[in-house]
Structure 1
Amino acid sequence: MSELRRELGLLEAVVYGTGLILGAGIYAILGEATGVTGGSIVISFLLAALIASVTGLSYAELASLFPKAEGDYIYVRNAFDREIVSDVTALGRLLMGVISSAAVALAFSGYLSAFIDVSQIWTAILIVVIMTGINFWGIDLSTKINILFTGIEVAGLVIIIWIGSGSWGSAEVLHTPNGVVGVLHASFLIFFAYLGFGSIVNLSEETEDATVTIPRAIVLSLGFTTLIYLLVGLSAVSLVDWRVLGQSASPLAAVARVGWGTRGSTLLGAIALFSTTNTVLILQISTSRLLYGVSKSEYHVFPEIFSRVHSSRQTPHYAVMLVGIVTIPFVFLGDIGFVAGLANLMLLVVFVLVNAALLKLRYSRPEQERGFRAPLNVGQLSITAVAGLISSLGLIAFYILTW
């Protein structure tokens, strides 16, 4: 068997993107981001959403051109025809996937510790191992789990919005205890929350009519999650002091405790377990599909064994196992903010290359059929791709200068 099973439609693809974005962001990094920027976390969310959206449009168009599991790699390879550039893209995305998976697994441990006394490191490792097993079992089971868990995590965020909606007027959204640097730093951390849209493209070979479905899924996932993020962020700083949020290992549970008492805190803590579990699962899936894609015989980026598909499960079992194994060492770093920062840096390097790839392909292959075309153009020049390129370079420079 050398092909994956096409099981996903638009709904499933949007749910995958939504589950990945929401789980990785709000439940994992909200506290630390609020701790560096205060009430202006809402502004940081808007800035991060803008940066993610312009690059997301590049992904949407490129996914309609090349609906392959290789995703970013195949885009850069076709644009520049230089193995070193495309190989760096593949390696960067793989590192981003495993590092992000480790960061969210650590967030899972943080929420679980509110219920029982557990080892953060070993609990995170255990959740990675379990999700690797589900990933191996098949895309059908993974999809069912994803839909169920995404519904639960969205319900939890709606509860937070409902709890805080009556206090929105008290939020000091212009409060910047660390000035512009704090707003930018928080935006950089929050950018980790948007990594999901780039991973949707890795499901192209398991999606029906991928040239149309995947671009739509990217746009819809980004739009829906941005709205949720803004309202949750506003509710959080309306109810809880930003310094308290910054010190909390389970920030949304802290918000629920203030607005709804111990019962609310317990409920949100439990929902966060589903959300972070879901995110680890989807990251393991998308990263293993990328490894599967770039290991195909025509590329030779990685040994061809990782492109093999299990005869009965129809999943890339060797790729699944390797991604799970490589994730575990990053769990030992322990610090969610530091791990998320590393994932962001890898992702931003890839974003620079992806936006540059779209700009190049607009001129080198202007007549190639596209299922989606990014808006705002001057002739063949994509304004959104230029904005994505510049903003990604800017965040890389910010990260290096503030390390």
Structure 2
Amino acid sequence: MAELRRELGLLEAVVYGVGLILGAGIYAIIGEATGVTGGSIVVSFLLAALVASLTGLSYAELASLFPKAEGDYVYVREAFARDVVSDATALGRLAIGVISSAAVALAFSGYLTAFVDVPAVPVAVVLVVATTVVNFWGIDLSTRINVLFTAIEVAGLLIIVWVAGGSWGNADVLQASNGAVGVVEAAFLIFFAYLGFGSVVNLAEETEDASVAIPRAIVLSIGITTVLYVLVGLSAVALVDPQVLGQSASPLAEVARVGWGPLGATVLAVIALFSTTNTVLILQISTSRLLYGVSKAEYDVFPAVFSRVHAARRTPHYAVATVGLLTLPFVLLGDIGLVAGLANLVLLVVFVLVNAALLKLRYARPGLERGFRAPLNVGRLSLTAVAGLLSCLGLILFYVLTW
């Protein structure tokens, strides 16, 4: 049987992670989150970053132990040896991928309305179809597109920081329009922005020296994007009223308009189109690789047809097509806040299982060779994994009680 082609190094893996995280977060959800909490959006970014970093360290260690495309599924399977738990993890990760793709595709439509008056849902459907085609064509083409588009989206965020740099003193980062509940609710929404680091592991079978490169890519991706997130969040509330941002379909374009004028709004709207396109593409890639991985004969979670690789393109074509089709029903919901909330809830459940898997493996199989070890340990106990598990459970409880 044909295998996936290893085309990615550390740089490409980091770019994939940064592209996933930035596109999903800043360009797609910052408006909704700022409308919830006001100037304290900066605090919400830091809170979300802390929770993501704790779980990210667990992913990094597990990825060094099991550098496979099926990612979370194999971590939980190796730790608990129970099909019901590992199969639920695979289903959860598949759901996260398709729901998140839908949310970011809807964000793309919001920015496109800055240029043409078009209905959001049909535009999002066209984007999903187009990225599915690119995904099928090959990882080499996808990588070139990702590197270019990620450079463009980072440039857009640096523009926001530049135009607002002199106004940071105007930001009231302690202004919480809905109190502590609003800060946590915004952090919950922003957590959607960090889903990218969990998807980096699905590229393991297309990455050289994956047991070392993937853990490093996870840590670097979270670090780079957190710095950019905080600076952009600070810039946004320094220039624009948070409630205005909350009502905008293209929030960063609104920030650029205030700081730079109509030209700035146009430039940022164009960049946001590149960013959201890039994120949908990478989500489609990572999710299809997960479906490919867990459909292998050794796991048999899904029908084996999804593990087949196209002889010429060397991509899992049946998995690619299926992920694209599964994304479309969530696009039809048409509400980015609702869609992102659904993705977050499933994501947090998976993160609980991943942190628990690391804790279990530390004791059950301590002799496994690790290319990376999470810091802050007491004997075999990982304090970061414990904190990651508890913080994810806390956000799940918050979602259940308030949404």
Q: TM-score normalised by the shorter chain: which range applies?
A: over 0.9
1:306 counterpart residue number: 306
Q: 1:5-31 CA deviation, whole Å, 9 max, x = no partner?
A: 000000000000000000000000000
CA RMSD of aligned residues (A): 0.4
Alignment map for 1:72-151 (pairs within 5 Å): 72-151=72-151
Q: Is the contact made by 1:25 and 1:192 (CA closer than 8 Å) also made in structure 2?
A: yes
Deviation at 1:200, TM superposition (A): 0.1
Separation of aligned partners in 2, 1:344 and 1:154: 24
Residue 217 of structure 1 and its aligned partner are, at CA, apart by 0.2
If the length of structure 1 is used for normalisation, what is the TM-score?
Answer: 1.00
Is 1:46 the counterpart of 2:8 in the alignment? no
Amino acid across the alignment from 1:272: A
* Structure 1 CA distance for aligned equivalents of residues 325 and 113 of structure 2: 24
Residue 170 of structure 1: CA displacement? 1.0
Are the aligned partners of 1:212 and 1:371 in contact in 2 as well (CA < 8 Å)? yes
| 1:147-226 equivalence runs, <5 A | 147-226=147-226
CA distance in 2, matches of 1:85, 1:248: 40
Q: Hey, what's the Cα distance between the residues in 2 that align with 1:37 and 1:179?
A: 7
The 8 Å contact of residues 4 and 205 in structure 1, kept in 2 or not, is answered as yes
Alignment-derived partner of residue 36 in structure 1:
36
The aligned residue for residue 349 of structure 1 is: 349
Structure 2 Cα separation of the partners of residues 2 and 338 of structure 1: 39
Separation in 1, partners of 2:261, 2:170: 20
Shift of 1:3: 1.3
2:292 matched to 1:292? Answer: yes
State the partner residue of 1:367. Answer: 367
- Checking the alignment, whether the CA contact within 8 Å between 1:348 and 1:392 is kept in structure 2 is yes
Summarize deviations over 1:285-314 as a string: whole Å, max 9, x none: 000000000000011100000000000000
* Secondary structure of 2:213's aligned partner: helix
Gaps of 5+ in 1: none
**In 2, Cα distance between equivalents of 1:65 and 1:368:** 7
Which residue does 1:320 correspond to in 2?
320
Q: How many residues align?
A: 403
Identity of aligned residues (%): 78
Cα distance in structure 1, aligned partners of 2:327 and 2:142 = 19
1:114 partner amino acid: A
- Structure 1 position 2, deviation (Å): 3.4
For the residues of structure 1 that align with 2:295 and 2:110, how far apart are their CA atoms?
Answer: 35
What one-letter code is carried by the residue in structure 1 that aligns with 2:234? L
SS in 1 for 2:91: helix
Residues 129-155 of structure 1: CA distance to partner in whole angstroms, max 9, x if unpaired? 000000000000000000000000000
Distance 1:284 1:63 in 2: 20
- In structure 2, distance between residues paired with 1:344 and 1:61: 22
* Paired residue secondary structure (1:310): coil
Contact 1:2 1:307 in 2 (8 A): no
Tell me which amino acid in the other structure corresponds to 1:325.
L
Distance in 1 between the 2:401 and 2:316 partners? 39
Equivalent residue number for residue 17 of structure 1: 17
The runs of at least 4 consecutive aligned structure 1 residues that moved more than 3 Å come to none
What SS does the corresponding residue of 1:398 show, helix, strand or coil? helix
The runs of 5 or more residues in structure 2 that have no matched partner are none
